[in-house]
Amino acid sequence: MSLYRSSFHGLLLIALILPLPAWSGQPWLAPHLQDHPLVGQRWSHHDSLGDDGADLIDDLRRADFLLLGEVHGNPDHHRLQLTLVEAMTDRKPALVFEIFDLEDQPAIDAYRAEGGRDADGLAERAGVMGRQWPWDEYRALVQHALNHGLPIIAGNLSGSAALAVAREGFQVLDEALADLGLDAPLPDEALSTLTRRILDAHCGYLPETRAAGMVNAQRARDAYMARRMAAVAGRPAILIAGSGHVRLDHGVPLYLHRQAPERTVLSLAFVEVREEAASMADYASATPQVHHWVWFTPRLRITDPCDDFREQLERMRSG
C-alpha cells in the first residue's frame, strides 16, 4: 500500500544534507540545537537522492495520500508543511486537519459558503481557538487553503468522543468497525509500540490498566482521520497532524491501507533532533517501517516534557 509496493529489502538508506535556508531562503525558527549535525538533513527510504529536493517533490506528487507529521507548535514544522503543500497546490489537494474535530465541519462549510476567506474567522467559527492547539502556527496553512479554494476537512474525533472510546470501547462509534478498519487488531509489535508510546507520553502517571483504553482512543482517532482522507475523490488528500499519527506501523497509514488499499500513501515526519543523538541510527523514526521520509529540524523546547507535566500537576495540587 505504500508509495513503493516492492519490498524495502536491499534498499540503501541514505540521507540528503539540505538545510532549510538552501531550500526556502529562510532561517530556522525553533531556537534550540540549530547547530546540531543532523539539522536540515532528510532521511529517505530511497536508494538514491538528487541534490535539490526534486525526489521528495516527485514522491509527494505521486501520492494519493500525503501525511505530514509535526511536533505541534514547532514553527519550522508548520512552515515546511506549508512549503510542501504549496508544491502540491496545482493538484488542488484537500487538506485534512487534526486540529479540527469532525463536529467542526458544518461550521467550516457554512463559513466558506458565506464567502468567508479569513483563517482567523474560520477558526473562530469552528471554535478551535478555545482548544489547546497553537493556532498561530496553523493559521498560514488554513489561509493558504482559503486563498486557493482547497477543501478544508475536519479529521479528528472530539476529546469527548475519544474519552468515550477509552472508557467503553469501539462499540460507542457511529460507523461500522469494518468500514473504519477497526475490526482487526493491531499486529503485536505495533500494539506494543503504541502502548509504550502512550505510557511514555503520560510520564508514568497512567496506570497500565488504563493503557488499553487509551490505545483504543488513539486507534479510533487514526481510523477516523483515514476515513476522512479516503472519502476524498478526484484529488490528493494531505493530512496535517502530529507525527505519531502518520506512522506506518500503527497510525493513519495502517487504516488507509485497510480502507483504500488501491491508493498510494507517503508518510513524512518532521523530527526534532536530540542533543545526545548525532546519528540517524539513533532515531527509530528514520526506518522504513515507520516513515518514508524524515526531515530533521531544531527543537522548540529542550526541557523534559515530563518535568513540565509534573510541575503542572504540583501547581494544580497546591492551587
**How large a percentage of the chain has pLDDT more than 90?**
79
242 domain-assigned: yes
Give CA 90 to chain center in angstroms.
22
Decide: 255 and 180 in contact? Cβ < 8 Å: yes
CATH assignment at residue 124: 3.40.50.11550
Mean of the pLDDT values across residues 19-27? Answer: 56
202 domain-assigned: no
Cα separation values, 274 from 5, 36, 83, 190, 259, Å: 32, 8, 24, 24, 35
| Cα–Cα distance for residue pair 277/164, rounded to 1 Å | 38
Mean of the pLDDT values across residues 213-233? Answer: 99
> How many separate domains does the chain show?
1
Confidence of residue 110 (pLDDT cuts 50, 70, 90): very high
188 domain-assigned: no
Decide: 264 and 248 in contact? Cβ < 8 Å: no
What are 141's three cell numbers? 496553512
Tell me which amino acid residue 293 is: W
The per-residue pLDDT of the chain, averaged, comes to: 90
Higher pLDDT, 35 or 209: 35
In this predicted structure, the answer to whether residue 201 has a pLDDT above a threshold of 60 is yes
186 domain-assigned: no
Tell me which amino acid residue 283 is: Y
In this predicted structure, the answer to whether residue 17 has a pLDDT above a threshold of 60 is no
Confidence of residue 25 (pLDDT cuts 50, 70, 90): low
Residue 297 domain boundaries: 15-157+235-318
Give CA 37 to chain center in angstroms.
24
118 domain-assigned: yes
Mean of the pLDDT values across residues 124-131? Answer: 95
Mean of the pLDDT values across residues 281-296? Answer: 94
211 domain-assigned: no
34 domain-assigned: yes
224 domain-assigned: no
